[in-house]
Amino acid sequence: MCRVENLILFSIKEDLVSYAEHKYTFGMRDLKLDQLHTFLDVVELGSFTAAADRIGISQPAVSLQVRQLEKKLGLRLIERVGKTVRPTQAGLVLIDHARRIGGDVEAALSDMAGLSADTAGRVRLGTGATACIHLLPPVFRQLKERFPSLQITVKTGDTRDILKEIEDNTLDIGFVALPVTGRMFAVTPVLKDEFVFISSAGRTKPGAAITADDLKDLPLVLYEAGGHTRTLVDGWLANAGVSISPVMDLGSVEAIKGLVGAGLGRAILPRSGVGDKPELSGLSVQSLSPRLERELAVVVRSDKPRHRGLREMEAALVALRGSH
């Protein structure tokens, strides 16, 4: 091949590379955060209409933002499957990038604001109702005293549901019961919470440990089936070869305590949910034999950017380790 042809081919190659780099740089520079946020809302909710309701704009406006994003990337990101919309393969790849971009922007804004004012941004925490009522108020008080502008949003629920929201980045951090599975999670065990047997005051001999056999003929009020608390109690009974049908299932520890205090049954609950002075609620508390306990841990996505508020919340929760 002659020298002139080589020069022509080299020039063409340079032009193609330059064009590709220009198109990539222009496309990345022209991406808009609101389009990425809208795309994530549509994927999470499985509906353009639901995403429009969440964002507060019209459904056609949501569709337009997604189409504009697809046009800029030159890829189909969402497809309809029946009445539900789902991400394509390209959409699945973009989801992780979009979440990281959103998290990085939120962290950057929070840190920049912290340089000019005493602010720490917003933290969305997921935890169980018992921990929220009996363990976390001192944590919240301490954080608000140190960072008055810190916004704390708390959602209570079962461990499984909270982990799903942390995975979807609709919650920033969780304080939940172990076990927690999944390589995407950074898990820090904090404290162990013993389960105890409670009855109305005077119904049992103080100090006596309760075995599963002792419960066979007693009217038990247990936490609702499906939750982590109930799963642990059912497993403890099963290990002793005892099968019990509770007289009532409830989804509230406080409601269970109220029924027991009124003499309408007995229960097995985490000690943290009983409080330091159960006698004031008309309750008698005894240990279980063999011992039953759950372990509470702090959970964050491993790739979650830690802005100032999130770092402080994580540290405050981990500090519970030395206070119980």
Domains of the chain: 31-100 (1.10.10.10), 119-324 (3.40.190.290)
Residues 180-198: tens digit of each pLDDT: 988 889 999 999 999 999 9
Query: Is it the case that residue 25 has pLDDT exceeding 50?
Result: no
φ, ψ of residue 85 in degrees (nearest 5): -100, 140
Query: Is it the case that residue 255 has pLDDT exceeding 70?
Result: yes
The model's pTM is 0.63
Question: Quick one: pLDDT at residue 85?
Answer: 87
